Amino acid sequence: MSTGLKRSEPRRAPELERADGRIVGIGRIDEDAVKVAYRRWAPVYDHTFGRIAAEGRKHTVEIINKRQGRLLEVGVGTGLSLPSYGRHLEIVGIDLSPEMLDKARERVAEEHLDHVTGLHEMDAGELKFENGSFDTVVAMYVMTVVPEPEKVMSELSRVCRPGGEVILVNHFSQEDGMRGWVERRMAPFAEHLGWRPVFDFARVMGCDDLRLVERRALRPWGLFTMMRFSKRADSQLMAAE
């Protein structure tokens, strides 16, 4: 005899991502989840997470503006950083979210950002650019979002010219303390958040062509870290052998 009550489905355990025996990420992320999450975020992004991330963005742009040549911003989002880049640079941006890119294009038009030469809907794990196309490649607040961070790092390295720089700004989780506790509690909801609260910095350290030259905790509260990598000057020669 039926009671009329529906049996609740068991809660799915969060997916664990491991490397060398360590847990380096918790929570499933796929391309569709990212698109859905950032479709929700697009209308309010600038006034929510955009403000939280402002200090890290400002600091990174100041470093980039000391450089020359072509810049690729991976995960350009609504284009918050675009007006701050020096006019001596040629800027190309990519993002997976068409809603975010629409806002970035509006910003470029409204502020007459002629040094932005292209904004493309593109998967960071499959960049449609030739090897060594850019002098600088930057990905701010991107690596916890993408389904395959290691693949994305390989692509960032590939499109960076030998002797150029790859710059990341990202959240990396802690194992201990209150922050680590909170991150682990949030981890099962990664798919709904659109990013992984538990994410180990080892996931961005696998490219032999990239040498870490700076790692710095950023404000506010050290929640985000900037990592600067220099691409080996002989990497193109090695690839050709």
Query: What confidence tens digit (pLDDT) does each residue in 72-85 have?
Result: 999 999 999 999 99
pLDDT at 42 over 70: no
Residue 234 lies in a domain: no
| Interacting residues of 31 by C-beta distance below 8 A, sequence separation 6+ | 96, 123, 147
CA-to-CA separations, 116 to 86, 113, 155, 158, in angstroms, rounded: 10, 6, 21, 22
pLDDT at 89 over 90: yes
Q: How many domains does the chain divide into? A: 1
Residue 5 lies in a domain: no
Residue 8 lies in a domain: no
State the CATH number of the domain containing residue 80. Answer: 3.40.50.150
Tokens of 7: 């049996």
Residue 217 lies in a domain: yes
Domain that holds residue 185: 29-228
Residue 88 lies in a domain: yes
* pLDDT level of residue 95 (50, 70, 90 thresholds): very high
C-beta separation of 196 from 188 below 8 A: no
The pLDDT tens digits for 144-191 are 888 888 999 999 999 999 999 999 998 775 566 565 545 555 555 555
19 compared with 82, residue with greater pLDDT: 82
Instruction: Note the pTM of the prediction, 2 decimals.
Output: 0.75
CA-to-CA distance for 241 and 235, rounded, in angstroms? Answer: 10
> DSSP secondary structure string, the chain?
---SPPPPPPPPPPPEEEETTEEEEES---HHHHHHHHHHHTTTGGGTHHHHTHHHHHHHHHHHTTS-SEEEEET-TT-TTGGGS-TTSEEEEEES-HHHHHHHHHHHHHTT-TTEEEEEE--TTS--S-TT-EEEEEEES-TTTSS-HHHHHHHHHHHEEEEEEEEEEE----SSHHHHHHHHHHGGGHHHHTS-SEE-GGGG---TTEEEEEEEEETTTT-EEEEEEEEPTTHHHHHH-
Residue 9 lies in a domain: no
Residue 189 lies in a domain: yes
